[in-house]
């Protein structure tokens, strides 16, 4: 695919309102890396279907469970203590950087899984976003709308 998922994700996440929308969805159990991958694929006109969603979920689940979430949990647990302890703060920042690097590797894995899927001129953004959020989509329509707007650049 012509554009790299990591760059798309960083650009999209930096747009106004997207970080808050992603954090809201993440707190509802949505895998934000999978969600941003869906936005990337949808914007490029890659058709969304259950088989593709399942393939991406399978790639994301193991890495998220074994690598990203433990780092996020540790970083979150240290938040209060790090405010009072400079050494812990420095370690927490290292964990934060490692968590971001783990997410980058997840994006690379997701991009690799979708590399051969054909693109078309029409976007399939809504289907990917709804598929990536599964049961949480109805709870956070505003957050999904914010991401949809950011992904299309309008």
Q: Which helix (H) or strand (E) holds 152?
A: helix 141-152
What pLDDT score was predicted for residue 84?
A: 97
pLDDT digits (tens, 9 = 90+) for 63-81: 999 999 999 999 999 999 9
- What does the pLDDT look like over 44-53, one tens digit per residue? 899 999 999 9
Q: What is the pTM of this model?
A: 0.85
Domain that holds residue 9: 5-152
Report the number of distinct structural domains present in the chain. Answer: 1
Q: Chain-wide mean pLDDT for the chain?
A: 89
- Give the model confidence (pLDDT) of 91-101 as tens digits: 999 999 999 99
By the 10 Å C-beta count (0-12 exposed, 13-18 middle, 19+ buried), 146 is classed as: buried
């Amino acid at each position: 695919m012509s554009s790299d998922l990591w760059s798309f994700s960083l650009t999209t996440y930096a747009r106004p309102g997207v970080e808050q929308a992603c954090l809201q969805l993440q707190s509802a159990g949505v895998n934000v890396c999978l969600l941003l991958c869906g936005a990337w694929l949808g914007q490029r006109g890659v058709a969304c279907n259950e088989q593709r969603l399942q393939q991406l979920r399978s790639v994301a689940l193991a890495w998220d469970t074994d690598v990203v979430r433990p780092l996020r949990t540790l970083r979150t647990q240290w938040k209060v203590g790090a405010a009072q302890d400079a050494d812990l703060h420095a370690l927490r920042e290292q964990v934060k950087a490692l968590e971001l690097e783990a997410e980058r590797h997840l994006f690379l894995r997701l991009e690799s899984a979708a590399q051969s899927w054909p693109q078309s001129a029409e976007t399939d953004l809504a289907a990917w976003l709804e598929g990536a959020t599964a049961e949480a989509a109805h709870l956070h329509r505003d957050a999904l709308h914010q991401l949809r707007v950011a992904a299309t650049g309008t």
